[in-house]
Amino acid sequence: MGAGLAEFLAASARGGLLPWQAEQEAAARYGAGAREVEAAALGSGLMPSRYARNAGTIGLAGQARLHAATVVVAGCGGLGGYLVELLARLGVGAIVAVDPDSFEESNLNRQLLATVSSLGLPKAEAAARRIREINPAVIARPVRAILDSRNAPAILEGADAVADGLDRIESRRDVASACAALGVPFVHAAVAGWYAQATVQAPGSRAVEELYGPREGAGVESDLGNPAFAPALAAAIEAAETCKLLLGLGRGLAGRLLSVDLLAMESAEFPL
């Protein structure tokens, strides 16, 4: 099947790009899944057309690396909904969407996957469905649980990075600690009102635990709430940092705290 599939894909490509229709035909003809077809295309130097606008920034080799990567999105609410969307469109090959909750009305102001018709549905399932709608070549694994230090070894098995979509300081400390123990990078962001912060906890670092200290209780979001713009911005920062980590590109946020104030429209950066 391998040689036949590769030949079929090469014959179906137009200008180095492989149309989705050809991917579907290849899947039907060779009894392959969308993921297998995408892997075969990238492996033989063909960019699926869906990534045409990634090509100049990510490149074919980068796209293949993203396809081979697994990212855990911890929490599928305000940050996590956007994270799932961005990582699936980026072409991360496997996304594990972890959240114990179901959508409720107070999520509608900001959570991408919260709609009138999704009220009451589990967030992890909604995330997996969205990933499959965007990109059937991406493995979408929903996990209806609170990610914590006890279940982290199983849920983070094979993960290249964990993206922070959590909504409580205690959860972040716990998951960041688990990531440190397992040697998995933790891409952190948190939001409140007009404000967002982000950093990357590299393996071997305890940056997030040090950032929050032993503090109990919620942050200023309990008074300010969370309008849509801060989680959208913070998730975009996380997606870019995750992409850089997976591809080994650019200057990451490891060792730095980025703080963005959308009310003053200022950003500040401090070493951690």
Out of 219, 229, 233, 247, which residue is the one contacting another protein (CB under 8 A)? 219
Tokens of 73: 């999105």
Out of 196, 200, 239, 258, which residue is the one contacting another protein (CB under 8 A)? 196
Binding mask 33-72 for another protein (x = CB under 8 A): ----------------------------------------
Does 259 bind another protein (CB under 8 A)? Our answer is yes
Does 191 bind another protein (CB under 8 A)? Our answer is yes
Out of 212, 236, 244, 247, which residue is the one contacting another protein (CB under 8 A)? 212
| Residue whose CB is less far from another protein, 105 or 216 | 216
Does 104 bind another protein (CB under 8 A)? Our answer is no
Out of 75, 91, 93, 252, which residue is the one contacting another protein (CB under 8 A)? 75
Does 197 bind another protein (CB under 8 A)? Our answer is yes
Question: What is the binding site for another protein (CB under 8 A)?
Answer: 75, 77-80, 164-169, 172, 189-197, 210-213, 215, 218-221, 223-226, 231, 257, 259, 261, 264, 268, 270-272
